[in-house]
Every structure is written in structure tokens, then in C-alpha cells.
A and B are shown apart, each in its own frame.
Chain A
């Protein structure tokens, strides 16, 4: 083919270095101090691998490659500049793009190789396009729900799981037939089309609070489909990158499912969002104690130790910058302020941390559930902003509660609990929160952003 045997070696070496850099990138991400170096390593590895690939002697035409690279960059830059509150939908969208790439390449590879595709190759190729296409539509649906283009409310119907599993079953059976008879290329559109439909159906019953699990799971699927593509193209670099991504998504899925007390198999088969039973005839009009911003400010000012617990409600109200002002005002008075963050707070893993970091809150004040829970008994005030189910003590005490067993932030152990909430409406799971009726709990009714703003004004007002 070519008289330049050296080029192939150079390409392989760029891939080898890229692989090492990718692993280093993830290793350096373990701490905020080295994390940016990790991004640089990843960029360098990517650049090397792409440059190496462009040297490939088999490439006869560069025009479309260059056009596509430029177009991708034009689309990619605005996607890198979205607001931090839009990061969950951006992430879902990027899973969709990754899966689209893998599915298209897989489809082309099949039609280029048919009718003689080796059995094993056909098996991996099927896995690639099935995972790729279901991740593509699934992620688009998730992005649509997060962006609120689609209804966020879960849509369920009788026999839903049966329909979904049936669809997936058909795709797997057809893939099996293709492995047995790879020459029957008329079957191929089925293993692309059905998973495309399955991806939509899979996300239809998912509500907003389940999104962290779903996004992690789609992340894992995207990685595995890329690894399968690596097997098809015999590219070790791609196998490794896909395996790393798949592992990352899987770890996050397991974390999220543990944090919601769902089983591992529950996550793997994507059968979440089942507990939509609204408690009928719940006893209303139990007395709650409420407080004004002035009262809340006075209590906070007298405290030594405050833990703020943010939830999705804080993100919706865009209250993170006001929360930072509150943090500043209290810290200036010598109050020790920390943040307690539940793994599934928000719409994706780590969502709250990013929002609070954007508001300039130092990351060493942002503590994980396991780190902060021991502190609540010594905490003077636990301030809950826009979080509900993750603070519900029924998860610890009431075996009949749908969220029983879910690990929660033990805010009820603090001396005083303050909850900023729009109204007494129930949370995502439709479950009443006994926290609100405790003697030590003060309800602060109002919009999170303006209520926190009022507290800050009170704290700033002539006390010093």
C-alpha cells in the first residue's frame, strides 16, 4: 500500500501517548488542586490522536474531514459556554452527540463490510449500534425534559415495563439472528430503529428527581458503545477511552442509586421512577411554625455553627449568589458556615457543587453527606434551601414510607431547622415531610432568592 512504514508507527505512538494522557487526565481530576492540569492532559492527548489519525495513509480526501472539524468546533464552542444552571441538559445533549457518532460509524461499517462480517464482529457491531441508538434518543429526551421543552412530569401507563423490555427483547433477538446470518442485511435497520424507539420509551416515565441516575446511566451506555466501536475498528485507544467512560458512568450510577436507595439491578435495567404513588387523603392542617426574615436573621446571627443544605429549588430560584452573600455576611460575624450536599441534590451528580463554586463559595466548605452528617448534632442552625425529600426523616423512621431506607441529611438533629419553601406542597415523591412539623423547625415561606436576600439585608443592617 504505502512505502512509508514509519508513518504507521508514528500514528501508533501518538495513540499510545494519548492513552497515557487520558488516564492521567482522570487521575489528576481527583483533587481540585490538580484538576485543571488533567483537562490540559486530556486536550493534549486528543490533539495528538487527531493529528496522528490525519497522517493515516488510507485517507484520500481531506475536504469533508476539515469541513466537519470546523463545523463541529462552531457547534462545540457555544455548548462549552452555556450557563452553569444549564449544565445538566448540556451534558445529556453531549451524550446524545457521542452516541450519534458511534451509531453512524457502526452503521456505515456494517454496510461497507456486509455480506461477509465475521460472527464476533457482528455481535460487537450489534452491541455498538443498539447501545448507541438507544443512548442517542434517550439522551435527547433527557435533555428535552431538563430544558423543559418536554413535560418533566413522569408519564406512566399500565404494562410500561413489559412494553419496554419487549422492545429491547426484539432488538436483541434480531441482533442474534444477524450474528447467525450476517448476510441478511435487511435486518440491520431493525437493530437501529427499535433501540431508537426504546430510548424514547425508556425516558418517558422518568421524573426530574431521577435525572441524576439516568444521566449517569446514559453516560455509561455511551462509553460502552464507544468501547464496542473500538472492538469493531480494532482501535485500542477507543476501547480504553470507552472503558474509562463506561466505568465512570457506572460508578456514578451506583453512587446515585445508593443515594436513592435503589438496587443495582434497578439501575442496570433502567426501571426507575416507579414510586409515583401519591399519598391519598393525607391529614392536612397540622400546625407548623413559620418565621419572618427578621426572625431568621436574628437566629442565624446568634448561631456559632450553621449548615446550609441546598437542593434543586435553589437552582430553580437562581438563589446561589444570594446564598453566597448570606455566607459572606455570616462568616464576617464569625459564624462557621458549611454546606451539606446530598449526592442526588439537583439534576446531575455534583450539580450543587458547581453552582456554589460558580457563586465563589470555597470548595472546602462544600461537604458530602457522609462528611457532614456527624456534624448536625453540634449545629445550631440547619438552613434547608429548596431541598425536600433528601432531608425527610421518614426515610430513617417510617418503614411504610416510599423513601424508607434512603440515606438522608440528618438536618432534624440540628438545634434549629429552617426550611425555605414556597408553600407546604409535597416534594417529588409526593410524600409529606415530618421535618416541617417538628418543634425545632421554622418554615420560611417564600421564593428562595428573595427570602435569602431579605435575610442578608437584615444581617447587614446596623448590627455592627
Chain B
């Protein structure tokens, strides 16, 4: 348990550093798509909601099912909407000149 926690903290720290380094390089041109993409990725929380809604619970089963189901709806709408709009925005960014198809 203690070791697990420590590992998780390492993971968090390393991910934060990677995040800073990778995202610093994103051009200000694409800051709006960046926000919608990270929003879609963040909706990976759906994984927790799925387990919550689907698992067997000896007590509190009703609460888990209701809250879990609403949570899945909220996260899924972010996943679907987030990826859709990010791709739509990125398709609009075109370079000038005839080089690019």
C-alpha cells in the first residue's frame, strides 16, 4: 500500500514534467485545439466510472449505479465531442501556397 502510493507519486511527477515539456512546444496557433484535445483525453476518467457502475457492491449498489451511470454519460460526451471538434478545427488549419494538398 505504502509502496503503491509512492509509485503513484513518482508517476504523477514524471507525467507532470513530460506534460510541461511536450505542451510548451505546442504553438500558440493551436492553443484552442490543445485545450479541446486535453479535455477529451482527461475524460479517460470514464474508465473509473465504468468500473463503478458495473461492479458488484454489497452495499450502496444503487448509489454507485446511479452516480456511475451519470458519470459515464458526462465523460463520454466529452470524449466524443472533444475528439470531433478538435479534428474539425485542425482540418481548417491550412498552409499557404500550393505545396500542401
Complex Cα distance A247/B73, Å?
Answer: 25
Partner of B51, one of A59, A76, A215: A59
Known contacts A79-B77, A363-B94; is-contact A238 B45 (Cβ 8 Å): yes
Contacts A61-B54, A108-B67, A219-B35: A50 and B46 contacting too (C-beta < 8 A)?
Answer: yes
Residue of A nearest to B94 (CB): A362
Count of chain A residues with a beta carbon within 8 Å of a chain B beta carbon: 112
A329 proximal to B (CB < 8 A): no
B77 near A343 with CB under 8 A, answer no
Bound-complex Cα distance A255 to B30 (A) = 14
Q: Binary interface profile of B, 15-53, with partner A (CB < 8 Å = 1, else 0)?
A: 110111011111111111111111111111111111111
Contacting pair A26 B11 (CB below 8 A): no
A229 contacts the other chain (CB 8 A):
yes
B52, A109: Cβ atoms closer than 8 Å: yes
Among B23, B75, B83, the residue within 8 A (CB) of A72 is: B75
Q: Are A30 and B26 in contact (CB under 8 A)?
A: yes
Residues of A within 8 A of B26 (CB): 26, 29-30
Contact count A vs B, C-beta below 8 Å:
367
- Assess the A80–B29 pair: CB atoms within 8 A: no
A35 within 8 A of B: yes
Q: Which of A45-72 contact B (CB under 8 A)?
A: 45-46, 49-50, 53-54, 56, 58-62, 64-65, 67-69, 71-72
Shortest A12–chain B CB gap in Å is 12
**B: which residues have CB within 8 A of A?**
1, 4-5, 8, 11-12, 15-16, 18-20, 22-57, 59-60, 63-65, 67-97
12 A/B residue pairs, CB under 8 Å, sorted by A: A23-B18, A39-B37, A56-B54, A79-B85, A87-B89, A101-B46, A104-B68, A109-B52, A243-B12, A244-B22, A348-B32, A353-B30
